[in-house]
Amino acid sequence: MTNPSESVIIVVVSRALARLIQLFGIYVIIHGHYSPGGGFQGGALLAAGVILLRMTEGYRESQTETSTAAAIPLASLGALIFAGTGLVTLAFGGYYMDYGAVPVPGVEEPIVRYYGILLVEFGIGLAVMTALVAIFDDMLGQAPGGDGEHAPAESTGAPPKI
Amino acid sequence: MRILNYILLAVFAGLLIYATVHLPARGDADAPMHRQENVVGDPVAGAYFISNAYRDAATPNMVTVVLADYRSVDTLGEVLVVFTAGVCCFLILRRRLYD
């Protein structure tokens, strides 16, 4: 799982498939206002795309996706977007997470709530996606950064040393 | 011991089936969960959500409105649970470069 797949077909097909899965994940997040879905489901789909590439392209090559070092900071950012939206409404004198309290000129309160929900869903999606990727990477047991000393031998098929 | 397990399993299955028989029918308007007032006579929160979700947030999917607007603090807790799971795996499992 840490080494690239030996079959070219698997690598090429999974690259195309991962983009489709992630596109559908973004759709699920954005379309959560009108259909079943939302941040949790969309974030899980986005993470599924990254994890598919981790399994087929190998750990090293798929670092150009969400890299292991960036996963936990991005998860913090997602949770911070959620909590920060609530703090912004506090600053305008409303209750915590009361999006309608933010005065936007020319926009009525329900529309402000609409976009507040959308922002919160983006935060949820980012946090869930990167947290799942971080958990998967930690389960793999690879060294972050991947210098040559601790990295497993490439394409020998040997299991990584734990 | 194996026989005892199966007997226990059968007893619990019978208990669950007995409980589901007495549930109100699907779509029963008189079921307690569909009433607009509880037994004391106070209005129920669910009825408010159903009648006012679109008016409050201009969002057709009322589940999203309940999840991210009315009960968003609850959702914040759920996100923090996922985040905490990620951080715990990071702290326990991730390999250090120098050790």
Task: Return the pLDDT at A152.
Answer: 47
Instruction: Say which of B85, B96, B97 has its CB closest to residue A135.
Output: B85
**Check: complex ipTM more than 0.85:** no
What is the DSSP track for A38-63?
A: -HHHHHHHHHHHHHHHHHHH-TTGGG
Task: Return the pLDDT at A113.
Answer: 92
A143 neighbourhood in chain B, CB within 8 Å: 95-97
User: Using one digit for the tens of pLDDT, what is the confidence trace for A2-57?
Assistant: 788 888 999 999 999 999 999 999 999 999 999 998 899 999 999 999 999 999 98
Q: Kindly determine whether residue A132 and residue B94, on different chains, have CB atoms separated by under 8 Å.
A: no
Dihedral sign from CA coordinates of A39, A30, A55, A76: negative
Task: Return the pLDDT at A58.
Answer: 87
**Residues of chain B contacting A, Cβ within 8 Å:** 55-61, 63-65, 67-69, 72-73, 75-76, 78-80, 82-83, 85-87, 89-90, 92-97
Task: Return the pLDDT at A158.
Answer: 54
A88 neighbourhood in chain B, CB within 8 Å: none
User: Using one digit for the tens of pLDDT, what is the confidence trace for A33-46?
Assistant: 999 988 999 999 99
Instruction: Say which of A83, A113, A138 has its CB closest to residue B90.
Output: A138
Instruction: Say which of B82, B89, B95 has its CB closest to residue A142.
Output: B95
What is the DSSP track for chain B?
A: -HHHHHHHHHHHHHHHHHHHHTSPPTT-TTSGGG-SB-TTSPBPHHHHHHHHHHHHH--S-HHHHIIIIITHHHHHHHHHHHHHHHHHHHHHHPPPS--
Percent of chain A scored above 90 by pLDDT?
A: 57
Structure tokens at A148: 């040559």
Structure tokens at B82: 């996922």
Q: Kindly determine whether residue A131 and residue B83, on different chains, have CB atoms separated by under 8 Å.
A: yes
Q: Quickly state the pLDDT bin for B74 (edges 50, 70, 90).
A: very high
Q: Quickly state the pLDDT bin for B44 (edges 50, 70, 90).
A: confident
Largest Cα separation within chain A, whole Å, is 63
Task: Return the pLDDT at B23.
Answer: 87
Domain ranges in chain A are: 8-140
User: Using one digit for the tens of pLDDT, what is the confidence trace for B24-43?
Assistant: 888 888 887 788 888 888 88
Cβ A25 vs Cβ A43: under 8 Å: yes
User: Is A143's pLDDT higher than 70?
Assistant: no
Q: Taking CA atoms, what residue in B is nearest to A142?
A: B95
> Would you tell me the crossing angle of helices A39-57 and A8-30 to the nearest 10 degrees?
170
Task: Return the pLDDT at B17.
Answer: 95
- Going by C-beta distance under 8 Å and a sequence separation of 6 or more, which residues neighbour residue A93? A101
Q: Kindly determine whether residue A142 and residue B82, on different chains, have CB atoms separated by under 8 Å.
A: no
- How many whole angstroms separate alpha carbon A112 and alpha carbon A110? 5
Torsion-angle region of B95 (φ positive above 0: left; ψ -120 to 50: alpha; else: beta): beta
Task: Return the pLDDT at A114.
Answer: 92
Q: Taking CA atoms, what residue in B is nearest to A34?
A: B61
Cβ A43 vs Cβ A132: under 8 Å: yes
Task: Return the pLDDT at A162.
Answer: 52
Task: Return the pLDDT at A144.
Answer: 52
A144 neighbourhood in chain B, CB within 8 Å: 94-95, 97
